[in-house]
Structure 1
Amino acid sequence: MATPRFLQPTGFHSELKNRINQYFKDRGTSPTGNYKLYTKAVILVASLLFLYVHLVFFTPATWLALVECVLLGGVTAAIGFNIMHDGGHGSFSKKKWLNELAGLSLNVMGANIFMWTTKHNVIHHTYTNIDGVDDDLDARPFLRLCENQKRLGIHRYQHFYFWGAYSMLYIYWIFFTDYVKYFTQKVGDIPLKKMKRSEHISFWAFKVQHFLMFVVVPIYMVGFLPWLVGFLVYGMFTGLVLSIVFQLAHTVEDAHFPVACEQTNKIEDEWAIHQLRTTANFATKNKVVSWLTGGLNFQIEHHLFPKISHVHYPEISKIIKQTCAEYKIPYIEYAKTRTAIASHISHLRYLAKAA
């Protein structure tokens, strides 16, 4: 399908950008990461290395190994949220090479930053919650995430089994969907930009590195069956955490799923208002959730200003919320994580029954 267009921007977006720019100007600070982010990055990378080395080379008792596999999955997701995500958006640092290095953490963990940049930065951030364009909405045939998608018999129970589907995201991503994108050179129906030779080399070199690090070496050190159990526990917990955080941002009861006008192929809102209608925050007062998720519980702030590091979201959220109130534009927010999860389950249950 042809990508839809948005209405011309109004004064709201301009006023919002002016206020955010003034915020950083008044404080004389950069919108990119700071010492808080870099300290967190060191802690997360050191934690991953410790857990990996202890699991693979020191073979702890079974119960402890399983606990450490869960922790390793949580740390992997946290590196994605905090380091890779900011790096991929160019907000980790003012230095380009540091952003690229942070983004490459995704490659080390088995996925690919080139594919992710097109899927996430270009498509998802532009066409959020537009079925047929936003690839994040495509969980078919297992899940129906919006009314525009065809309802299958299996979807009748999706609000029960979605936990299992989400837990397979990471494994499915690194061993299947990356290769589909690579060989078709598309994300859904949208072509990737032409890959350079260095990007082809990077794709395969990091895939081999990941296979050696997370498959070959562990099997050699602990045996096939212990590796298989450990890897499944690790990979499924990673996938569950990644899925839940991203789904709470867009597939909840209050979020919209716009459809372009058939005659004009236009969305009824300008881009900034579209982001506010399709995106939700959750648990923004919870500092532990904010720290672990890399500020992705401030999803509204991230979608409106993706080049601002997540360490600034708590402060700029006050400006955005106030501006939305003045312009009478909705600002979707759930006070707690469990409230957002309940809303997501209700959304899935509604789609399970609705024709």
Structure 2
Amino acid sequence: MVTPKFTPATPSFHAELKRRINNYFEEKGKSTTGNMTLYTKAIILLVAFVLVYVHLVFFTPPTWVAILECLVMGGIVAGIGFNVMHDGAHGSFSKYKWVNQLAAFSLNILGGSSFMWNVKHNVIHHAYTNVDGMDDDIDIQPWMRMSSTQPKYKMHKYQHLYFWLLYSLLYILWIFILDYNKYFRSKIGTVPLKKMSFADHVTFWAFKVFNLALYVALPVYVLGFIPWLVGFLVFATFAGLLISIVFQLAHTVEHTAFPVPDVNTGRLEDEWAVHQLKTTANFATDNKLVSWLVGGLNFQIEHHLFPKISHVHYPEISKIIRKACEEYNIPYIVYPKTRYAIVSHVTFLKQMGRA
């Protein structure tokens, strides 16, 4: 697929948004990166991960307690990804580059590859959101149909029912299959992977071996195969479900668009910022607990427009962005509650499976 281009706009809505957001931070005298609230949350999550892991593996709690702790660990892993890794990968966790790199590097500890994530998420997904053939996040073929431009199979009629199982498998597939697939194909979807340095190759393989030791070999050695298998499946499927549902609610709901480049020019209809607004949705933005747990990813519009700004600032800048959208008559999609967004996602899957 030829890389699509965005249509330039005069005046630029993106430029106007940047002006207003820059004015906000100048007037408030705030840094656009994280603050002590974020750093405290990061410490809580990281310490909790270590404590729960050590207790599960080395202190062998009763079965029902162990299962509950596996669920908790799945939630903690997702939480670290949402709150620490995600901001770090975008360079918004801290004003110090090395701190951002360290935060982003947490993904390697959690089982993934920070190199693959950077290309897949930062480079491709954030540029070409919901563009079939470019955005790897909507490429779950042949198992699911996430866009009207994708082929439809009979099984898609039931995708609004079986998606729970597929989403639950995301984390397991991610750490055991998908990263390797990208590595050996040197592609993410149809987009070539950027050249890996020698250090990138070493890091990739060193942490894949480390993860097998941390999540498989050591627990099996200490606990035995069956206890490990049950615990790992509980932990990994819960983490996968949380990660999948949070990211899917941001883009694959009833009211988001799936733009198609012009056949002749290869151009998308809108400028980049308007494209992001049409392809992205917020949910439960008044729920402080949800915002805390998902690292502000319920403010996905703000994140896509300003990925270099930490999620701790999203509630405030969302007011500025929403007002600008009203003035310029540009859609600003938001679901007031998480359950409304989930219902809309299920409805969307049903439409894609039957259209």
Q: Shared fold by TM > 0.5? A: yes
SS in 1 for 2:268: strand
| Aligned equivalent of 2:4 | 4
In the alignment, structure 1 residue 346 sits paired with structure 2 residue 353: no
Which ranges of structure 2 fall in alignment gaps of 5 or more residues? Answer: none
In the alignment, structure 1 residue 180 sits paired with structure 2 residue 181: yes
Deviation at 1:11, TM superposition (A): 2.9
| Aligned equivalent of 2:212 | 211
Runs of 4+ in 1 over 4 A off after TM superposition: none
- How many angstroms apart in 2 are the aligned matches of 1:111 and 1:165? 18
- How many angstroms apart in 2 are the aligned matches of 1:115 and 1:159? 29
| Aligned equivalent of 2:61 | 60
Deviations 1:250-290 (A, max 9, x none): 00000000101101111110000000000000000000000
- How many angstroms apart in 1 are the aligned matches of 2:207 and 2:28? 40
| Aligned equivalent of 1:33 | 34
SS in 2 for 1:5: coil
| Aligned equivalent of 2:235 | 234
SS in 2 for 1:144: coil
Aligned pairs (5 A) from 1:315-330: 315-330=316-331
Structure 1 length as normaliser, TM-score? 0.99
One-letter amino acid of the structure 1 residue matched with residue 2 of structure 2: A
Residue range with higher mean Cα deviation, 168-177 or 189-198: 189-198
In the alignment, structure 1 residue 310 sits paired with structure 2 residue 311: yes
In the alignment, structure 1 residue 106 sits paired with structure 2 residue 103: no
Deviation at 1:312, TM superposition (A): 0.3
| Aligned equivalent of 2:202 | 201
- How many angstroms apart in 2 are the aligned matches of 1:207 and 1:108? 9
- How many angstroms apart in 2 are the aligned matches of 1:300 and 1:69? 32
| Aligned equivalent of 2:169 | 168
SS in 2 for 1:346: helix
Structure 2 length as normaliser, TM-score? 0.99
- How many angstroms apart in 2 are the aligned matches of 1:12 and 1:320? 11
Deviation at 1:28, TM superposition (A): 1.1
Aligned pairs (5 A) from 1:234-253: 234-253=235-254
- How many angstroms apart in 1 are the aligned matches of 2:352 and 2:266? 25
Deviation at 1:14, TM superposition (A): 1.0
Deviation at 1:142, TM superposition (A): 1.1
Deviation at 1:221, TM superposition (A): 0.8
One-letter amino acid of the structure 2 residue matched with residue 259 of structure 1: V
SS in 2 for 1:123: helix
SS in 2 for 1:342: helix
One-letter amino acid of the structure 1 residue matched with residue 46 of structure 2: V
| Aligned equivalent of 2:255 | 254
Deviations 1:52-111 (A, max 9, x none): 001000010001100100110000000000000000000000101000000010000110
One-letter amino acid of the structure 1 residue matched with residue 5 of structure 2: R
Deviation at 1:168, TM superposition (A): 0.3
One-letter amino acid of the structure 2 residue matched with residue 42 of structure 1: I
- How many angstroms apart in 2 are the aligned matches of 1:255 and 1:106? 29
Deviation at 1:185, TM superposition (A): 1.2
- How many angstroms apart in 1 are the aligned matches of 2:154 and 2:16? 47
One-letter amino acid of the structure 2 residue matched with residue 174 of structure 1: I
One-letter amino acid of the structure 2 residue matched with residue 280 of structure 1: A
| Aligned equivalent of 2:117 | 116
- How many angstroms apart in 1 are the aligned matches of 2:181 and 2:165? 22
- How many angstroms apart in 2 are the aligned matches of 1:284 and 1:173? 29
One-letter amino acid of the structure 2 residue matched with residue 338 of structure 1: R
One-letter amino acid of the structure 1 residue matched with residue 98 of structure 2: W
- How many angstroms apart in 2 are the aligned matches of 1:290 and 1:256? 24
| Aligned equivalent of 1:158 | 159
Aligned pairs (5 A) from 1:272-291: 272-291=273-292
Which ranges of structure 1 fall in alignment gaps of 5 or more residues? Answer: none
Deviations 1:332-355 (A, max 9, x none): 00000000000000000111111x
Q: How many residues align?
A: 354
One-letter amino acid of the structure 2 residue matched with residue 64 of structure 1: V
| Aligned equivalent of 1:221 | 222
